[in-house]
Amino acid sequence: MSTAARYDAVVVGGGHNGLVAAAYLARAGWSVLVLERRDVLGGAAVSQQVFPGVDVRLSAYSYLVSLLPDRIVSDLGLPLDLRDRAVASWTPLRRDERHRSLLVERDEGPATAASFRALTGSDAELAGWQRFYGRLSTLAEDLAPTLTEPLPGEAELAGRLRDPGIWHDLRERPLADVVGDHLTDDDVRGIALTDGLIGTFADVHAADGLAGRCFLYHLVGNGTGRWRVPVGGMGAVSGAIATAARAAGATLLTGATVTALETRADGVTVHWTDADGVAHAADAGHLVGGAAPAVLDDLLGAPAGPRPSGSQLKVNMVLRRLPGLRSGDDPHRVFSGTVHVDESASAIDAAYAKAAAGQLPDVVPFEVYCHSLTDPSITGGTGLHTLTLFGLHTPAELFAADPVGTREEAVRRVVAQLDEHLTEPLADCLAIDAEGRPCLQAASPLDVEAALAMPGGHIFHGDLSWPVATDPAQAGTWGVATSHPRVVAASSGGTVRGGAVSGLGGFAAAQHLLGR
């Protein structure tokens, strides 16, 4: 494919944020070129046939949608089907030598109340839960609209919040203390705390705000905080955005590895090689950095900052059947939500201490999702089921000395932990691929880095930021500026309000440029 000598904007990185920026700019009449290193668009928001001969499209890296604003879906005319899960979460437990569980419905009703009462012995814990999440719901409703507006200053934002106290607490106090103000049961507190640890290696007892920032982003999506399953997998999301960008006139190239950037007062020259190793170059009025900040800094020759460190173990599986549960719950119901395993507050603390000391946790807290129960289309009518596991407190550094051995040991531990709650071994339920191997694929942060060029395998590209202007000079901007006026950030970690599959980074980059 030939490319023009000059574009209004070149986007480096064809992940979902880069595609959102390209779509908005092209719709405004800009000439846009997107350069993606991999042979597929979408970055971490992709669906893949992971196992040979098994016709299942797995969301391999990112799984659910919450933060993608309805405004972006509407503006770009994205034909997405995002489905709610009937169950918000389910937690298998072992107490008093009995297999127990805690069910939280999406719309909490009598079953949720009965589950809390059976586990804790009263209605007090449910009352604390509802008070806590009621306050968070109010915060989400107030905060979500600001995510697609220029950055508010701290005083301006506080004036828009009906409950500024919970905003203050999340920012200024340890997350464990905020949760502890409302909840007392060890397992119930842990379920709440996990939202502050997804992809983030943080001490929930620290006052540095790291866990609080992660927690906030997991609770505010579209004013509801609900995490929905995209029909067709995550690839359907990035695919729809790519289609919108192409329809608006953007040129999208895959297999294009950017090798150098030359900045000038009037623009940027971008150099890249195609899949055949042929060198190309194009001039652009502006460059949009959809790649991780560390990658963009390297291309610009900027000093390297602290290396990000991802903190998640990902295990993708295809099952012939769902296993039975020792608690007696129906797996076809409860596996449709987020299944919390060994995620009590005390287990989280023990795992953090072990990982902070440089050792793989003896008990790895993790979550499991079965998306095929909500979206059967991803298994192509085969009757198979997907199962995706996301492990916490497994930072990249733990895998450095022995990447393969440590990953295999981590997988052994989480499978054994899950087996404790099943009536049959998980291994007996796994489908077998065309090469005779069980359908189980694991990825450490180092594997994620190798596949997606995410430094440290950090799924947010780096620590999340509070969605507010912390510097008065930043108020009223879009939070995407870099050290060069012709280069703007659009990635998850490069923008103030990036994070998860939200499109917020790409949206902000486009608004910044169009506003100029």
Q: Is 23 exposed, middle or buried (0-12, 13-18, 19+ CB in 10 A)?
A: buried
Q: What is the mean pLDDT of residues 397-406?
A: 98
Query: Token digits for 373?
Result: 């129960």
Q: Give pLDDT tens digits for 297-307.
A: 999 988 888 88
Instruction: Look at residue 500 in the predicted model and tell me its pLDDT.
Output: 87
Q: Give pLDDT tens digits for 201-232.
A: 999 999 999 999 999 999 999 999 999 999 99
Specify whether the backbone of 492 is left (phi greater than 0), alpha (psi in -120 to 50) or beta: alpha
Q: What is the mean pLDDT of residues 127-146?
A: 98
Q: DSSP letters along 152-174, please?
A: PBHHHHHHH-S-HHHHHHHHHS-
Instruction: Look at residue 306 in the predicted model and tell me its pLDDT.
Output: 86
Are 419 and 426 in contact, with CB atoms under 8 Å apart? yes
Q: What is the mean pLDDT of residues 132-157?
A: 97
Q: Give pLDDT tens digits for 278-296.
A: 999 999 999 999 999 999 9
Which residue, chain included where needed, has tokens 């980059």? 509
* pLDDT > 90 in the chain, percent: 95
3-class secondary-structure state, position 263:
strand
More confident residue, 63 or 33: 33
Q: Is the pLDDT of residue 3 over 90?
A: no
Q: Is the pLDDT of residue 516 over 50?
A: yes
- Across the chain, mean pLDDT equals 96
Q: Number of helices (H) and strands (E), helices first, in the chain?
A: 16, 18
Q: What is the mean pLDDT of residues 479-500?
A: 93
Instruction: Look at residue 305 in the predicted model and tell me its pLDDT.
Output: 82
Alpha helices in 76-218 (DSSP H): 110-120, 124-143, 154-160, 164-172, 175-180, 186-193, 210-217
Q: Which residues contact 191 (CB under 8 A, 6 or more apart)?
A: 89, 91, 102, 104, 340, 343
Q: What is the mean pLDDT of residues 453-477?
A: 94
More confident residue, 516 or 50: 50
Instruction: Look at residue 1 in the predicted model and tell me its pLDDT.
Output: 46
Confidence of residue 66 (pLDDT cuts 50, 70, 90): very high
Q: What is the mean pLDDT of residues 318-345?
A: 97
- Residue 11's identity, in one-letter code, is V
Measured CA to CA, the distance from residue 271 to residue 27 in angstroms comes to 25
Closest among 217, 219, 197, 245 to 138, alpha carbons compared: 219
Q: What is the CA radius of gyration of the chain?
A: 23
CA 27 to chain centre: 27
Dihedral of CA atoms 418, 422, 424, 428 in degrees, nearest 10, equals -40
Confidence of residue 4 (pLDDT cuts 50, 70, 90): low
Q: What is the mean pLDDT of residues 430-441?
A: 98
Are 174 and 205 in contact, with CB atoms under 8 Å apart? yes
Q: Give pLDDT tens digits for 183-197.
A: 999 999 999 999 999
Q: What is the mean pLDDT of residues 394-421?
A: 98
